[in-house]
Chain A
Amino acid sequence: MHKTDDITLDSICKIEGHASLDVKVLNGEVKNVKLKVVENMRFFKEAVLGKKFSSVQSLVSRICGTCSTAHFMGAIECIEHTFNAGVSEQSLMLKHLVMNSMQIRDHAMHLFFFCLPDLFNKDSILDFKSDSEKSLLHDALHVKEVGNAMGRKIAGRSVHPLHPTVGGFSKLPSNDDIKSLIRMIKSERDKAVQFVDLFYDWDKVLERDTNYIATHMGDDYNFLEGNIYDSKGVCIPDFAFTNYLNKVVVPYSQAEGFLYGGETYMVGALARMNINKGNLHKYTRRDLSKHISRFPSKNAYDNNLAQAIEIVHAMDHSLEILERLELRNEPVQEIKPVAAGGTGIVEAPRGTLYYYMEFGGEGVVDKIEIVIPTAQNQIMIEKDCGLLVQNCLNADMDKDEIKRELEILIRAYDPCMSCATHFLEVNWK
Chain B
Amino acid sequence: MKKIRLGWITFTCSEDNTIVFLELMNKHFFEFSDKIDFAYCKVLRTSPDIFEVKDIDVFFVEGAISTDDERKQLEHIRKVSKYVVAVGACACTGYPAGQRNRFPPLLKRKISNRVKRYGLNSEVHPVSKYVKIDDRVMGCPMQEEAFLSILNKYLEMVI
Contact = CB atoms under 8 A, between A and B. Distances in A.
B12 A148 contact: no
B119 to A, nearest CB: 9
Contacts, number: 133
Given A113-B22, A428-B117, A40 B16 contact: no
Given A14-B45, A65-B16, A43 B99 contact: yes
A137 B67 contact: no
Given A47-B100, A62-B96, A68-B14, A159 B20 contact: yes
Contacts of B17: 65
Interface stretch (B24-32, B76-84, B151-159): B24-32
Given A46-B100, A65-B141, A41 B120 contact: yes
A328 B100 CA distance: 42
B103 A160 contact: no
Nearest to B48: A11
A193 to B, nearest CB: 19
A329 B109 CA distance: 48
A74 to B, nearest CB: 15
Most buried by A among B12, B15, B97, B113: B15
Interface string B103-145: 1000100110111011010000000000000000000110000
In the complex, which range does the number of interface residues on chain A fall in? 35 or more
B16 A159 contact: yes
Interface stretch (A118-126, A166-174, A210-218, A368-376): A118-126
A58 to B, nearest CB: 10
A145 to B, nearest CB: 4
Contacts of A65: 13-20, 141
Contacts of A254: 118
Nearest to B141: A159
B149 interface: no
A14 B44 contact: yes
B46 A42 contact: no
Contact of A16 (B15, B70, B114): B15
Interface in A388-429: 418, 424-428
A92 interface: no
A424 B114 contact: yes
Contacts of B115: 41
Contacts of A137: 29-30
Interface in B37-92: 38, 42-47, 49, 66-67, 70
Contacts of B30: 134, 137-138
B96 A41 contact: no
A124 B46 contact: yes
Given A65-B18, A159-B20, A424-B114, A126 B45 contact: yes
B47 A13 contact: yes
Contacts of B100: 42-43, 46-47
5 contacts: A16-B43, A43-B111, A62-B16, A65-B15, A160-B16
